[in-house]
Structure 1
Amino acid sequence: MANDSSATAEDERCRLGVLVMQLSLVCWREATNGDRRTLAFKSRLWNVYEDAGGYVRTQTLDRYLCESSFPSRPRWNRIYATARYVLSTCALPSALRDELQQAMNRLGRDVS
């Protein structure tokens, strides 16, 4: 039984991690009209790859946006740093900014 509750707690952390990243991206879009590539590039927290054809990818960041691709050993500090960067960029009060802050706080309690 302990494994079931442990797995459930870990699943919840992962869901919160995905939520924080998704909210960070939506807040970023709202504040800057930028996409995930500009967030990755400007924050300098995520690798940005450009292939020979000029297509820009954010493969690592993309893995954090969906539960099915969320890493088994996530970089929690990078999730926090992304949210903090977005919150500093999205300085104007908004319901979305508040939701991101609350999700980040919940994740902080669960991960600590």
Structure 2
Amino acid sequence: MAQEYFKPVEGGLLVDVSCGSGLFTRKFAKSGTYSGVIALDFSENMLRQSYDFIKQDDTILTSNLALVRADVSRLPFSSGSVDAVHAGAALHCWPSASNAVSVVSP
């Protein structure tokens, strides 16, 4: 469903916010649909787990994949530089969901 929703931004840069273990990150990267996929999480442990899963899967193109540790309410991207933001199931982990949503919403 997410892939279908992001059809208008095919070829663009996608950020998987609060990526956790990177399940969706890996699916987005494997699709080859985006110029870049960024796995973003505040937890260093989650990013490490995501990295380990990525390394175990030799079908993932890592040339267009980056892992970034950042706070969702202060994303390290300039305005307009990201084409799509995916936030799977982590809104409940964000200290202030309203602040985070205001950062990613136009």
TM-score between both structures, scaled by the size of structure 1: 0.28
Q: Tell which structure's C-alpha radius of gyration is larger.
A: 1
Q: Point out the structure with the larger strand share.
A: 2
